[in-house]
Amino acid sequence: MKKSEFQLHDKVLKGMEDSYKKMVEYKKYKKTPIVSSIDGKIVHLDPFLAEPEIKYQKIEKE
């Protein structure tokens, strides 16, 4: 990857982390479950048990 692609990749990961944090805060405020799909099944998760932040890892392709 080029340097500019790495910078874009970092910005996308940062945006995803920020979006997750805001979503958890909003779900806690509204007291509504987080709806997700796990193994093809729809599940409702308690936002008060969710991690307040998440860190995405870079995966480098050769």
Provide the token pair at 18: 């920020």
Question: What pTM was computed for the model?
Answer: 0.75
- Can you spell out the DSSP letters for 1-62? --HHHHHHHHHHHHHHHHHHHHHHHHHHHHT-PEEEEETTEEEEE-TTTS-S---PPP----
> pLDDT tens-digit profile of 25-50?
999 999 999 999 999 999 999 999 98
The whole-chain average pLDDT of the chain stands at 88
> In the chain, pLDDT over 70 holds for what percent of residues?
90
CA–CA separation, 44 and 42 (whole Å): 7
